[in-house]
Amino acid sequence: MKLLAAIGPCICEKCYEVGEDVAKRFPESCEPVKGSPGKFMMELALAAEASLIIAGLTSSNIDRLDICTSCGDRNQFSYRASNGDCGRQLSFIGF
């Protein structure tokens, strides 16, 4: 069976600031970038892609939509950009 994956849209590295407790949970291949004191900027799509590769998918079977839900297309919902006043997005797995 050939497994394919698509990632995105999701928040980008410029908009996704997390504390050290969250940053250390990302795969080792996702090097955090220092943000404000005690904070790190993380690339969520890269972390998802790295996790899929660790799970056995090849990068050629992974497609990423590089659309930021926070600073990009305003047709996407962003909890952070709207301070919690937003809709929801759907994720699914299909066979």
User: What are the residue boundaries of the structural domains of the chain, listed by start?
Assistant: 1-95
Q: What is the pLDDT of residue 49?
A: 92
Three-class secondary structure of residue 82 per DSSP: coil
Using DSSP bridges, classify how beta strands 62-64 and 5-7 pair: parallel, antiparallel or unpaired: parallel
The H-assigned helical ranges of the chain are 20-23, 44-54
pLDDT at 9: 84
In this predicted structure, what is the pLDDT of residue 36?
86
Can you give the pTM of this predicted structure?
0.73
Residue appearing with tokens 């069976």? 1
What is the model's pLDDT at position 39? 92
SS3 category, 78: coil
Per the structure block, which two tokens stand in for 5? 């994956």
Question: Tens digit of pLDDT per residue, the chain (95 long)?
Answer: 588 899 978 888 888 889 989 888 887 778 778 888 989 999 889 889 999 999 999 999 999 988 888 887 666 666 666 666 666 666 666 66
Task: State which CATH number among 3.40.50.1360, 3.40.50.300, 3.60.140.10, 3.40.190.10 fits the domain covering 1-95.
Answer: 3.60.140.10
CA atoms within 13 A on the CB side of 64: 17
